Structure 1
Amino acid sequence: MADTPEQKVLAATAAETTPENPWPLQLLSQKLKSHIEKAPPAWVEAQVIELNKRANVSYLTLRDIDAEVSLSVTVWGSVLGRLEAPLERGSRVVAQLKPDFWLKTGRLSMQGQDIRPVGLGDLLARIEQLRQALAAEGLFDPRRKKPLPLLPHRIGLITGRNSDAMKDVIRNASLRWPAVEFEVREVPVQGVNAVSAVIAALAELDADPAVDVIVIARGGGSLEDLLPFSHETLVRAVSAAHTPVVSAIGHEADRPLLDEVADLRASTPTDAAKRIVPDVSDELRRINQARTQLNRRIEGLLERESERLAYLRTRPVLANPMVMITSKYDDVTSFRSRALTAVRGQVSRHHDQLAHLRAQVRALSPQKTLDRGYAVVQLEDRTIVRSPAQLSPGTSLKIRVAGGDFTATSN
């Protein structure tokens, strides 16, 4: 009897499997199913792009709101039966999905355990909540808004492909200012690619130094169609742009968050064209008015100055300029005569004063005293004798009189 082969020991984990010791396919499927079943249900938000109903089961294809990512979902009729209105293609929903692995065929599927449509009120509430959050950050502060150039040479235009909005902006701006140039970026303005495409075009135009202002424009649409222009990523990109941005989304009643953060909000694409470039006819009219006013002012000034010159020419000093010289000559002659008289008077008075002072000095001179008969008696050492007590008999004296001096001896 042949020996029974030993029982093979399987690898405990997938990493331990080898070509010599592989797992049975059934084991791998069982482990995958066990692992997948541990994943909890998850609520996701998406858009229904396909809907097929078969008996009590519906097969949906959900696509991400902002990216080209889709997923097939199986939903039982009991789940859809809880909805107040039938689910339709294009509906925006939130769904609770649970992954399921079909062991027999190895197929992974998503089971929709619950599904709820996102109504208009829910979308408006989300937008309002985001509006308040961004406003609290200061993104809508008027002080952050950049002024538009007075006369942009080149306008960056982000709009839909061959759209009426693009035609309105270009036509009306060109009619107002024929020399204006456009740098157009045609992008999707709704759907999952709209946000990323608009942001990429905005970054490209913002980096171009020749672009003076950027206009983001699209025609009207439903709230769902305009949702990309309330996307937080796009709003922050516009806030960070260095080039002034004009929002021209929808009609007057439409007000996505892009309007709040843009440097200028235009009610329509046509309104944007009127507000970013001046009207050449209006500017020419203003130039003509300014030229007329300038000519009128210059003519008035010339007329006034001519009258002033004519008046000045009638004055005597200009009619006979020598009158001014003659009158000044007479004044100089008079002043010179008066100055000469004053100087002579001063000289005469000072001459008399000198004579008087000379007489006083002479009257006080010692010689005059001697001339009147007086004498000066001195000792041999020239000391003046003022008292008899200074003398003794036989003292030699020197006596000076008007006619000269002589000596004597005291008794």
Structure 2
Amino acid sequence: MPADLAVIGLGHLGLPLAQAATTAGVATVGFDTDPRPVAELAAGRPPVDGSLTASEIRRMLSGGFRPTTNPTELGRVRTAVICAPTPPGADRAPDLTAVTDAARALAARLRPNTTVLLESPVHPGTTEEVLRPLLEAGSGLRAGRDFHLAYSPGRLDPGNRAQEYAHTPRVIGGLTPACTEAAAAFYGRLTDKVVRARGPREAETVKVLETNFRHVNIALVNEMAVLCHELGVDLWDVIRCAETKPFGFQAFRPGPGVGGHSVPVDTVGGHRPLRLVELAGQINERMPQYVIRRCAQLLNEHGKSARGARILLLGVTYKPDLPDREAAPAGEIARRLMELGAVVSYHDPHVLDWRVRDRPVPRADSLYEAAAAADLTVLLQHHRTYDLQGLAVKAQLLLDTRGATPAGAAHRL
């Protein structure tokens, strides 16, 4: 049965889109070159990143969603959305390999009047300078005349059940006004509000600004955390008071590092670097080392050395209540502690097996027993299942990098 929509890339971007489309009654096929996630989804099993539950996958399948590795399906749809991953490459720029592979697969089967959309995080200019030539060369069609082409930045907050796709405005920028309207007609079936950008470059730059806004503000509050510790000031109380200001302030909170799929973009296509973003990246990248320093200081203050110390890490994912470990700082923290000679173990209700540099890290079965036995317990991620009041009582020493424990119950970052 032909589908209206093809979602290319069944990862953390593509699956929520496929879910929203299926829920809205749009006949959707999900294409991925990797047979493993396709087989898992077809069997009703949730993705390993925890972005969707098993019941949500089953509802999608019953609603007509079809995961496939068959590229011929791409030639039977009216709309195709590329949601391929763009991880940072060696030069920190987005690696477009998966995007270009998706473009070539689609181009060979592209039909006239199809609307092609890109949602992957990319540098400004990618839609016009990379995606467009591949689609035109592979199809013999011309963008803006024979098919519609537009960019829409992904806006997802993984694990946030309060965020609904239908109530999240979508920004779109088309190659031509007609392309923009075609994209608006599609997203208008899924969301309450569509915001039209001047063109693809402006829409692509929206993603750059949104991502960098997060990283710069996290860097600011991370640096404030270091300063406040030196001054003996309770930063968490400062933030609590500051966020009562009804204008000009948005609360961000410090942590042991910055994880997730969106990376800061401090250079754009060979243009001058964004110095503030570059500095923010350096600050955020130093946070795991700062956590190590705080661990060593706490142990020393209690007559212990990091060498041989039993250290329990709590929560090794990059977001609470999700199993996704993409760029989570826990790996670097564990590695540095091991290099100091510490005996590291971990507990995470969402991660049953964890390796750091191919070395298995022992998993604690009993949380409270492990905390009582450890010389130092470090909260890296605050999962809802953690009873921090009880944990603070059981642990010999507790370092809270998330400010989640009651005031005075633990040492805070």
TM over 0.5: no
Q: Shorter-chain TM-score: which interval?
A: under 0.3
- TM-score scaled by length of structure 2: 0.24
Whose RCO is larger (CA < 8 A, sep 6+)? 2
Look at both structures and tell me which one has the larger radius of gyration over its CA atoms. Answer: 1
